[in-house]
Structure 1
Amino acid sequence: LMFPVWVALPLLTSGGTTTMGTASRECGPHGRGWVGPTVLLCIYGFCSMMRPSEPFLTDYLTGPYKNLTTKQVWTGRGEMRALKRLAVDCKECYSSVAVLFFCVWSAMGNCGYHQITGYVQLLWASKQAQYNFTEYNGGVEAVATLSGAAASIAVGHVSLDWSVWGELVLGVFTAMTAGVLYLMDLTNSIWICYGLFKTIYMELITICTFQIAQGLSRERYALVFGINSFVGMALQSLLTAIVVNTKSLKLTITSQFLVYASYFAAMVVMFLIRGVYTLLQSRLMELIPAEGQSERRTDLPQVSPLA
């Protein structure tokens, strides 16, 4: 509201551009300029006191489902309680290490995917101008999207314990993604590499989404996926400011894709280590009960034979 008020202030107090300015001049030298500010203050007071949603909002916040009193709503304690509840929910959601790693891949993968898809057309133009060939980039986008959708559907029918193998699968396929991006930077024809990149990403993001949703209650889906998207966009903004900004590193488009490939390679190291650790831990937990059961069986007293 304050923005249009300050914009309208010069018009209401100017000398010859508005009707109110004319009326103020007609009031004499002692009353010049009072009409505009008076009308402005009246409009501002009316709009500031007009709160059509408050009757409905108060009843909603103090209803049986919210457990808040009217005093708490009007003194701001309801907002503080909501912030505390939000902090507790975030702590509970990200306390699981398995869910945390899938969230990390979701945010980092989202960042890298949007960087690649956003600037791949510039790489296409650079390769086409350098080697004078046609890449059919529109058709490649369509085929890559269809293949990614098929991969996302197919991965849902794979019978695999994703809680054990999921992080290792992320590491292996992310390594393939990094290799594909290196090939896009080095080779002349990049359409096969780009199609593979998009297919692998859609497959992996499906695995991450499924594993995150499996470890959360339904009412926390929006919170976690919203935070993951926000972190991904923040990483993308930081990566754009460092790599794409012409005033920072001044990299060519091919050098930028080399940086993106290194970005995915760093993800490979993290998730391969975590995947191997999870797999070894799972195998160790399977061996410990088996050893304990065999020891219990050997400790049984021997029964003497019948005479």
Structure 2
Amino acid sequence: MEGPGPGRWPAAALLRAARVPRCCWLLPTALLCAYGFFANLRPSEPFLTRYLLGPDKNLTERQEPQPGLLLVLKVLWADFLACYSSRPLLCWSVWWALSTCGYFQVLNYAQGLWEKVMPSRQAAIYNGSVEAVSTFLGAAAVFVVGYIKVSWSTWGEVALSLFSVLIAAAVYVMDTTGSIWVCYASYVVFRTIYMLLITVATFQIAANLSMECYALVFGVNTFTALALQTLLTLIVVDASGLGLEVTTQFLIYASYFALIAVVFLTNGTISVIKKYRKQDGPESGPQATTS
């Protein structure tokens, strides 16, 4: 019979601690506080400047913020240019930022649209159930797409454009229908497609990156999406801008996704044509020379 290993005693102690009466809140609170303290404990940071100003570093106090900051900015800018010089990564990142901006807008104001279609005072609403179903179906779609063999490097942009058309159609149906159930169904389709595509986009971006650049690229993409969302909110929703009604807002969001679809369809079609021309070029060369 296997004896208790060195890692068994802490686990047993935690189990015994979990059996304390519910009225005894001191121990769980103390454990959480201890975890928060040690999770945020950074022993080296209070001595970082002193370390950099040491005699072996040959830096003075005046020299150590300025060149250090400039060096960091220079490295970040070089990494930024190196990452986004890749055309596939740039295309997926652009779609990632643009679609996430529109997704957040639809997500934030969907309940206002549902209230317009079917006021909660008149009938029972199922907003929470719809959110749960859309999340579940989105997760299932992501699981299924992992088994579909698609050359995303060739057909990725075309696929993004076609699915963006479906997203635009779903948002448009949400906006124009008078049935709350059709509105719910369109919302489920919208979220399912977005969750599928954003997973594929995230994978494609990560596949074209080194691990050290993950934080930089996804940080820039997220910042771009949030900046665009802020701008769109100020123009469309805010009272200082157009201050449009929710139905007009969703018409603009549908047009927004349709514009994304047109841009990526045009770009993707050109990319596919160029790729197949390059593949046909070497084959046609020897034939032309022989003839």
TM-score, with structure 1 as normaliser: 0.73
Alignment length, in residue pairs? Answer: 243
Q: 1:210 to 1:133 in 2, by over 3 A?
A: same
Corresponding position: 1:256 with 2:249: yes
- SS, match of residue 119 in structure 2: helix
Q: 2:209 aligns with which of 206, 213, 216?
A: 216
Q: 1:75 to 1:260 in 2, by over 3 A?
A: closer
Ranges of 4+ aligned residues in structure 1 off by more than 6 Å: none
Q: 1:284 aligns with which of 271, 274, 277?
A: 277
Q: 2:129 aligns with which of 111, 121, 139?
A: 139
Q: Deviations over 1:116-175 (max 9, x none)?
A: 111101111111129955441111100000001111122222211111100100000000
Match of 1:39 in 2: none
Q: Is contact 2:53–2:64 with CA below 8 Å preserved after alignment?
A: no
Deviation at 1:53, TM superposition (A): 3.6
* Separation in 2, partners of 1:134, 1:237: 33
- SS, match of residue 242 in structure 2: coil
* Separation in 2, partners of 1:58, 1:93: 34
Gaps of 5+ in 2: 1-43
Q: 1:132 to 1:84 in 2, by over 3 A?
A: same
Worse-superposed segment, 70-79 or 95-104: 70-79
Q: 2:192 aligns with which of 172, 195, 199?
A: 199
Q: Is contact 2:135–2:192 with CA below 8 Å preserved after alignment?
A: yes
Q: 2:82 aligns with which of 72, 84, 92?
A: 92
TM-score, with structure 2 as normaliser: 0.77
Q: Is contact 2:52–2:59 with CA below 8 Å preserved after alignment?
A: no
Match of 2:59 in 1: 70
Deviation at 1:247, TM superposition (A): 3.4
Deviation at 1:96, TM superposition (A): 1.5
Match of 1:108 in 2: 98
Q: Is contact 1:128–1:134 with CA below 8 Å preserved after alignment?
A: no
Matching of residues 122-201 of structure 1 within 5 Å = 122-129=112-119, 132-187=122-177, 188-189=179-180, 190-201=183-194
* Separation in 2, partners of 1:183, 1:75: 55
Q: 1:160 to 1:291 in 2, by over 3 A?
A: same
CA RMSD of aligned residues (A): 2.4
Indicate the percent of aligned positions where both proteins have the same amino acid: 42
Q: Is contact 1:61–1:73 with CA below 8 Å preserved after alignment?
A: no
Q: Is contact 2:235–2:243 with CA below 8 Å preserved after alignment?
A: no
Gaps of 5+ in 1: 1-51, 300-307
* Separation in 2, partners of 1:69, 1:227: 35
Deviation at 1:293, TM superposition (A): 4.6
Larger radius of gyration: 1
* Separation in 2, partners of 1:195, 1:144: 5
* Separation in 1, partners of 2:169, 2:232: 20
* Separation in 1, partners of 2:261, 2:186: 18
Q: 1:118 aligns with which of 108, 116, 123?
A: 108
Match of 2:264 in 1: 271
